[in-house]
Structure formats: C-alpha cells, structure tokens
A and B are shown apart, each in its own frame.
Chain A
Amino acid sequence: MSFLKSREAILTGAIVALLALVATRYGAFIRPANLAAVFNDTSPLIILALGQMVVILTRCIDLSVAANLALTGMVCAMLNVAMPGLPIGVILVVALALGAALGAINGLLVWKLDIPPIVVTLGTMTIFRGVIFLLSDGQWVNSHEMSASFTGFARHVILGLPVLSWIAILVALVMLVVMTRTPMGRALYAVGGNPHAAVYTGINVGRSQFIAFVISGMLAGLCGYLWIARYAVAYVDIAGGFELDVVAACVIGGISIAGGIGTVGGAILGALFLGIIKNALPVVDISPFWQLAISGAAIIIAVLFNARADRTKGRVILKSAEVTQ
C-alpha cells in the first residue's frame, strides 16, 4: 500500500508511461535488446547519481563529479598509453583511488574548513578541468592509442549485458545495503535530516559529509575509466556539464535538495527517466533542437510532481476531518 503511494512508484509509472509514449512512435524502442542498450547507456548516469545522492542526503552538493570523471578518465587513458600492459584490475583500482582522493579534497575542505559545499565543488570543478589540460597539454588520447583490453572491458558482454551495465547493477546493490543496513548509511541520513541532532547523537557531521564526498568521488572515478573506455577517447571537455544531468537525475528521483530524504531506488529511477528521454528523442524523430527544452520541462514537471507527493498531510486534530481523510 505505502509503496503504491511512494515517489518510487509514481516515478516507475511515469517511466512506463514514457516508454509507452515512445513505443507509439517507434515500437522497436521497447524491444528488450534496445532497453538493455538504453540501460547500458544510462549506466554512468546511474552510478554518478548514486554517488550524488549520498552527497545530497548530507545537505551537500557535488558539482565536481563530471570534472572528477574527466580527470580520472584522462589519467587512466594516459596510464594505458604509457603502460599498455597494465591489467584492467590495476586501472580500476587507480580509477577508484584517484576518484576517491579527488572527492576527499572536496570533503576535507567541507569538513575541516567548513566551506559551503557548492563553493568548494564549484572551485574544484574548474580546477580539475584545468589540471586535465595541464596533464594532457590539451591533447586528446584517441582510440588507436588505447589497448584493446582497455576499451574492451566495459563492453564485454556477460549474460546478455555489457560489463558496464553489470557494474551499475553491482554499485546499486552495494549502495542499497550501505544506505539501508549499515550504521554509516543511517548516519548519512541523520546528518542531512537534522545535523544539529546528529551532533547530539554522537555523529560527526563533518566526517559524514567527508565520507559522502569520498563515495561520490570514488564512483565518479570509476565512471571516469568506464566513460573513456566506452567512448574510446579522452580529452579535457569530456562529460562537460554532465554534473547538472546528475543533479537533475537525483532531483527527479525525489532526493530532497534539503537533505535527509531520498532512496537508492529513487536515484536509479531518476537517472533512468533522464536516460530514456535522452535516448528516445533522437529515435522518435523529434528535431534535435527540441531536446534541451524537453529535458528542461521534464525536470520542472518532475519536481512539481515530487513536491506535491511530498506535501505532508499535516497534523489533523478535528475528529470530523480525520474521518474524511
């Protein structure tokens, strides 16, 4: 019962309706193979949205995810060029570690110096991009320079789905457990829900926010490698502006920008919603010039919708009102 009224259910409904609408224009879109392809295409957004969710839950925001992704991706690509023999496992570890380290920079500035997260990540966003330029000297790393295993890993198909999709599923499962079943997950919710009370509860607010940034950074780093591998090219501007898509996915998924409210399922659905729109518009033959306006409108409608669903019933003290509720 409560699920049917939940944000997740509403969003699932919206996604199904969207798919149905697209199907009327272009039936093949909802073929399982195509849906799998759409899921695969949306995987990086899902992973990033999950990281961003954690950050937003603690009343922060991470605008540096896309820049982190690009920087980590570039480092992985350059590493691959320099040492083509390096196993993918090592590359993955490097991506996760570097991403986490970049996230930790954000986290430390927020934790130790108490600088508002939006300011910190606005700053690191431009700094990270600049560092890519300095590292690469503005040069691209192209597909023929990358080793076959480097670009092949993400698209290797297991049980009908590419590794990229499986990684997104794995990340989602891990995040689900972390957020619902571990003391750390609870603490992250608590910090965003009522930071003042969290202090009284013995939770270190700053440290929890630091952890959130590290998680977000780590997932951005992971996406960095996956992104570079998938598109087989690395340059300064990769995933430019993608941070807004990530935040939009979270918002559509019902993660409250005020902190403390949001679920793993919501973040995933929000990302899928955007991903489907992105993938559907080109195939249903809507002029590419309409794309931007449609995604903008979708964000606004979704937020309006969420706000309605979010409106608390309030306290009812009149007996007559209770009956009619």
Chain B
Amino acid sequence: DDMRIAVVVKALGIGFFEAAAKGAEEAAAELGDVEIIYTGPTDTTAEGQIEVINSLIAQNVDAIAVSANDTDALVPTLKKAMQRGIKVISWDSGVAEEGRMMHLNPSSNPLIGNMIIKLAADHLPEGGEVAVLSATTTSTNQNIWIEEMNKVMGNYPGIEVVATVYGDDLADKSYREATGLMQSYPDLDAIIAPTSVGIVAAAQAVVDAGKVGQVNVTGLGLPSEMAGAVESGASQSFAIWNPIDLGYSATMIAYHLAKGDATAEPGATISMGRMGEVTLDDTTSGAMADPFVYDSSNIDDFKDIF
C-alpha cells in the first residue's frame, strides 16, 4: 500500500495553499510510493480543521502535515492522532508544541519581520510613515511577524509605524481599511500587508485613490495576484517564500518521519529532498529558507506559477 500523507491547509481555494499542494504532489511523484490527501475546511476556522482532522484520523492516514488556523485549538485532536500512531507535523502556521512532532517555518520569523519593514524602508531613504494592514486579529503568523518587525524598528531610523489595522483576509474589508488609512494619514508613504489578501486589496485601494507613486504597497503576496499591482506601480516590490517549495518540504519531512528514518527531536536534522536539510531547534521547529523578493524585474517569470 502507498503511504498516505494528508496535507491540511487553513482553507481550500487560497492560491498560496493550492501552490503548496503542487509542491506536495511533486514530492509524492519523486518519492513514488506516496498518496497525497490535500484537504482543509472551506473557511479559516479551527472547528472546521478539527472536523477534517477527525475524518483523517478515522481513515488512519500515515501522516498529517497541517497549517493551523489556531495554535492551541487543534492540539487535543492532533494529540489524539498521534496516540493512534499518526505522525503529525505543522508547517507555515504552527501548532503548539505538544500538538505536533515538529514545525516547519517557511522562513524564520525574525527574517520575515525584518524583510517586510526593509521592503518598505528601501524605498524611503528619507524616512516616512508606514502602516500595517494585517489579516485577522487572531492569525498566528501575522502577529508574530509584526512583533518581530517591531523589534528591529531601531535599525530603520525615520520610519514610523503609524497604525496597524485588520482586514480579516476579506477583500472588501481590507480595501476599506486601506482606504481608511490613506484618509487618516494623508502623508502615508507605505502600506505593509503581510497577507496575500490584504496586499492585493491595498494595492487596488491605492490605485483607486489615485495615490500610485505616493503610497507604496508592500508585504507578503503571491506573484500571480500581485502582477497587476507591480505593473501599475502601486507596489514596488514584495516578498514571499515559495509555497511550492514549502509544500514539497513538508511532505518530505512527513514522509521521513512516517518511514521511521528520521526522528523529530531538538537538534535533529531531517532531509527535505531538493531543498536540503532542516535542523530542529529546542522547540523542534526549523526554518525552510529566506523569503524571496519579487519586483518588476522577475515577476513575469513567476506570475503563472503561483
């Protein structure tokens, strides 16, 4: 029988996760004896993920690799999965330590936190006002990155974060929040949106407000969704790790854990195929790679991939 690895995402239909699924399939093809079950709830709720994971437990899959909607809420269910012999790892958005065997960060949080402010600051040599447009108030990732960003603010004198608002990863709300930011802060120079929904909406809002060239939208986004914004000039540059690589790596790690040729413990190294190796820290988590910057010079190469 093929080994069954379940890739559980925050919600189906999000371009980023669809790309990660491609990576997972790539890994499966490379490994040969692996069947990928790509699944997740329809909206980004912990309850929805729990239902999905319960049915995976019932199917007795070999491994679950999950990007969590809530750090804590999945823990009891995932514990149950591990008790029934299923290998559990988290990737992208993590689960509290007791709920998984290891966690794969797309990049390290400090690197991302630094990257998003650097993207804004690079275009503001004189300094200026920037605002953050985040996803939901409960998103684990965004909150950590914003925290990390605040830690390194000292390295960017003259840059001032004037506000942090939440678009809830809804296009219309993000759009309205971005518009609100530009009204409240007429001198705003940049909007940092470390979320792929928010960054698109913010770019659209800047175009509609006629502020292209005055307000630079940056943050984390998908090349396919941001191609238009880069072309119009609403966004000079943005970053993202490669979700294909991320799905690929998570699958590889899950495979090795399930096969039993690797263990998840502090200090261990686990092979990620073409992505090299990941080394686990004290919290049994590790980082895949640095975020990658996209701008007008390279966007065309990526916009059709993910």
A interface list, Cβ under 8 A from B = 26, 28-29, 34, 37, 41, 129, 133, 136, 138-140, 142-144, 155, 227, 231-233, 235-240, 278-279, 282-283, 285, 288-289
Contact = CB atoms under 8 A, between A and B. Distances in A.
B53 interface: no
Contacts of A235: 13, 171
Interface residues of B, number: 32
A143 B184 contact: no
Interface string B147-179: 000000000000000000110001110011101
Interface string B104-140: 0000000000000000000000000000000001000
B177 A282 contact: yes
A136 B184 contact: no
Given A26-B184, A282-B184, A283-B183, A236 B166 contact: no
A240 B165 contact: no
A282 B15 contact: no
Contact of A142 (B181, B183, B225, B231): B225
A144 B224 contact: yes
Contacts, number: 87
B81 interface: no
A236 B177 CA distance: 21
Interface stretch (B84-92, B200-208, B211-219, B249-257): B200-208
Nearest to B167: A288
Interface of B: 12-15, 18, 42-43, 137, 165-166, 170-172, 175-177, 179-181, 183-184, 200-201, 204, 208, 224-225, 227-229, 231, 303
Given A138-B13, A142-B225, A144-B228, A233 B183 contact: no
* Of B42, B172, B229, most A-chain CB atoms within 10 Å: B172
Contacts of B181: 282
Contact of A285 (B170, B175, B179, B184): B184
Given A279-B176, A282-B180, A282-B184, A236 B231 contact: no
A142 B200 contact: yes
Contacts of B170: 237, 240
Given A133-B13, A143-B228, A232 B204 contact: yes
